[in-house]
Structure 1
Amino acid sequence: MIAQREDGTGPPGERRPDASMSLLADLFSGKLLDHGYAEAAARRAAAGESGPAGGRLRGGGVLLVLVLAGTLIAVAGAEVRRGEPVAAQERSRLVGEINARTAETDGLQRRLDRLRAETERRRAAALARSEDGRRARRHLAAAAAAAAAEPATGEALIVTLDDAPGDGPEGRPADTGGRVYDQDLQVLVNGLWAAGAAAIGVNGQRLTAATAIRAAGEAILVDYRPLGRPYEVTALGDPGRLRDAFSGSAADRRLRALTERFKIRYDTRRAAGARLPAAGAVRLRHAREAGR
Structure 2
Amino acid sequence: MPANDLDLLIDAARAAGEVAARFAGPEAKRWDKPGGLGPVTEADMAVNTLLAARLLGARPGYGWLSEESEDTSARLDRERVFIVDPIDGTRSFIEGSGTWAHALAVAEAGKITAAVVYLPMRDKLYAAALGQGATLNARPIRVSDRADLDGAAVLAAKPNYAPRHWPRGVPEVKRAYRPSLAYRLSLVAEGRYDAMLTLRDSWEWDIAAGALILDEAGARVSDRNARPLRFNNPVPQVGGVVAANPLLHAALAEALAPEASA
TM-score scaled by length of structure 2: 0.20
Please identify which structure carries the higher helix content: 1
Please identify which structure carries the higher strand content: 2
Answer 1 or 2: higher relative contact order, Cα 8 Å, separation at least 6: 1
Greater Rg by CA: 1
